Amino acid sequence: QEQLVESGGGVVQPGGSLTLSCVASAFMLGSFAMCWVRQAPGKGLEWVATNSHDAKSEGYADSVRGRFAISRDNSKNTLYLHLRSLRGEDTALYYCARHYWKNGEGRIDVWGKGTTVIVSS
């Protein structure tokens, strides 16, 4: 069964840094674009970042551009999100998700369970 498992969340002080990881199983990460989506406590879903299957293209939400970086190691079937200059408003559950494309139609179809980041002094 295709699965994504995130790790690396924790409590970090404002201004600090953290790296999240997401390991894929039962499919090849290198065949898919991948995303990070976050959800602040009691709030809706917010797209954070996406990178292409070969990591040559990436995009970021305005709220994180310049502070977060998405990367991957396809040989390890692992996606990363590097978070720096963290703020209180970055506190959220961070989901890793797969973006599947076929015949010009795409969808985020596989989601992990998420890892929690709390920014607090």
Binding segment (CB under 8 A) for other proteins, from list 11-19, 21-29, 83-91, 111-119: 111-119
Q: Does 54 bind other proteins (CB under 8 A)?
A: no
Q: Which of 112, 115, 117, 119 binds other proteins (CB under 8 A)?
A: 112
DSSP string, 34-78: EEEEEE-TT--EEEEEEE-TTSS-EEE-TTTBTTEEEEEEGGGTE
Give the separation between CA 23 and CA 40, rounded to whole angstroms.
22
Q: Does 9 bind other proteins (CB under 8 A)?
A: no
Q: Which of 44, 66, 75, 89 binds other proteins (CB under 8 A)?
A: 44
